[in-house]
Amino acid sequence: MDPCCETKADELAPLRLRQGRVLVAVLIINALMFCVEFGAGLLSGSAALLADSLDMLGDSLVYAFSLFVLHRSLIWRARAALAKGLIMAAFGVGVLVEAALRLRAGVPPLVPTMLAIGALALLSNSLCFSLLWRHRSDDINLRSTWLCSRNDLIANAAVLAAALLVGWTGSPWPDIVIGAAIAVLFLRTAVSILRESLAELERTRNGAFTGDA
């Protein structure tokens, strides 16, 4: 191996180790919060909580993808980012469907449960966001992971706002509207990640064809 390559590999090894530890931590946090929030969403009848719980599940899968490609090539990391974008898009559509079902039922969710679990989810995602912050520019894989975490904070704050509005108005509409808004946010971010990952895949393939990869 070229000495320059050996030096570069030595420099990258500690970075990959730190990334792996962070991803394991946020994976565990999100997996646990999915179980808590999904159960609370079912019990409270909240579309917003259910949507946020599915987001936690999606993030768990996202972090698992990130760990899988952590020590792999650029093309694998671009493929993982593409998979993340597809997962986020699927969940965005799922949230829209759930909001429509809740609209048809017309029953307001339980506000105390929404507030308690929404606050816990916000605290959990704040911890994940702080852990991922320093790695947000490492590569496309970690950038897309950080974008997911940033969106989580926005979604958590929206769930709390929905709970307060439901309590104030006694109507299920705030819960339904927030659920739909979260879906739109997911879909927009999914499009952004898909564009970046497809562009990265194209650059990687072009480099392979020209012998630069």
pLDDT digits (tens, 9 = 90+) for 116-135: 999 999 999 888 887 777 66
Structure confidence at residue 32 as a pLDDT band (50, 70, 90): very high
Rounded to an integer, the average pLDDT of 73-88 is 77
Q: Is 174 a residue whose pLDDT tops 80? A: yes
Confidence (pLDDT) at 208: 56
Q: What are phi and psi of 65, to 5 degrees?
A: -60, -45
Q: Determine if residue 45 is left, alpha or beta; phi over 0 gives left, psi from -120 to 50 gives alpha, anything else beta.
A: left
Mean pLDDT of 175-188: 82
Amino acid at 192: S
Q: Distance (Å, rounded) from C-alpha 80 to C-alpha 141?
A: 7
Decide: 57 and 27 in contact? Cβ < 8 Å.
no
pLDDT of residue 159: 92
User: CB neighbours of 10 closer than 8 A, spacing ≥ 6?
Assistant: none
Average pLDDT over residues 71-78: 72
Q: Does domain 3-210 have CATH number 1.20.1510.10?
A: yes
Tokens of 122: 């916000």
Q: Are 65 and 145 in contact, with CB atoms under 8 Å apart?
A: no
* Residue 151 confidence class, pLDDT cut points 50, 70, 90: confident
